[in-house]
Structure 1
């Protein structure tokens, strides 16, 4: 089955935007100092040191997600990371839909980049030939 170049390109664009969002969120929110940062992180139950470490993890996951050979593992790690973000927002009584939507977009983008992901999700047989990208 011939894969659509437009769908693959759309997947890469979405993936790039998602990775840029994750890196910028770390750069702006976790790696820089700004007024109210300690109070906001404290409200969520995290120290600034922990948030710095989480920022490093966030950037590492974004990089793994963009590399074709590690994208699947990166997506799994991203889903786990976003699950933690969702739990944190629920715990402090804040809206939690953003991490959920980002997670859905991440898997859709990966499925557009690597159609085997959709076949795997649907329980279809994926041959060794279809895994070679």
Structure 2
């Protein structure tokens, strides 16, 4: 297996793990009923109804993140979503590093899957055929 293929495979595995975490660990807690849910969300300043809707948004973003044509936009949406999660955790005095790390990992995963993203992020010229000759 060549280096490029290994990097892309690593990006896909990381993307899958991120999506599984978003759907299985994070969104599932917003979409299911469990004891203490209302109190926990109230402490964070959110109602169960709002958190249910946020859970749906989270699932949609996680799925879009796995679709190559929508992955870039989904990563932008994911970064925005995780920014809100970070702000919420900071506001209530809880640990806030997990959403930050998850956002960074999402961009790394996308960059490994689609190397053009990393080239652009580091200010390198595009290697895309359509951009040749454009100034």
TM norm structure 2 = 0.91
Q: State whether residues 116 and 130 of structure 1, in contact with CA within 8 Å, keep that contact through their aligned partners in structure 2.
A: no
By how many angstroms is 1:89 displaced? 0.2
Paired with 1:128 and 1:16, the residues of 2 have a C-alpha distance of 26
Paired with 1:26 and 1:130, the residues of 2 have a C-alpha distance of 39
Query: How big is each residue's C-alpha offset from its partner over 1:4-50, in whole Å with a ceiling of 9 and x where there is no partner?
Result: 111100000000000011111212x0111100000000000000000
Q: Secondary structure at the match of 1:69?
A: coil
Paired with 1:129 and 1:104, the residues of 2 have a C-alpha distance of 28
Paired with 1:126 and 1:43, the residues of 2 have a C-alpha distance of 46
Quote the residue 1:110 is aligned against: 110
Paired with 2:129 and 2:35, the residues of 1 have a C-alpha distance of 53
Q: State whether residues 19 and 62 of structure 2, in contact with CA within 8 Å, keep that contact through their aligned partners in structure 1.
A: yes
Paired with 2:116 and 2:128, the residues of 1 have a C-alpha distance of 10
Change in CA separation of 1:51 and 1:3 when aligned onto 2, cut-off 3 Å? same
Paired with 2:112 and 2:3, the residues of 1 have a C-alpha distance of 9
> Structure 2, unaligned stretches of length 5 or more?
none
Aligned length: 129
1:76 aligns with 2:68: no
Change in CA separation of 1:19 and 1:34 when aligned onto 2, cut-off 3 Å? same
Paired with 1:63 and 1:123, the residues of 2 have a C-alpha distance of 28
> Structure 1, unaligned stretches of length 5 or more?
none
Quote the residue 2:55 is aligned against: 55
Paired with 1:90 and 1:126, the residues of 2 have a C-alpha distance of 37
Paired with 2:121 and 2:7, the residues of 1 have a C-alpha distance of 18
Q: State whether residues 23 and 58 of structure 2, in contact with CA within 8 Å, keep that contact through their aligned partners in structure 1.
A: yes
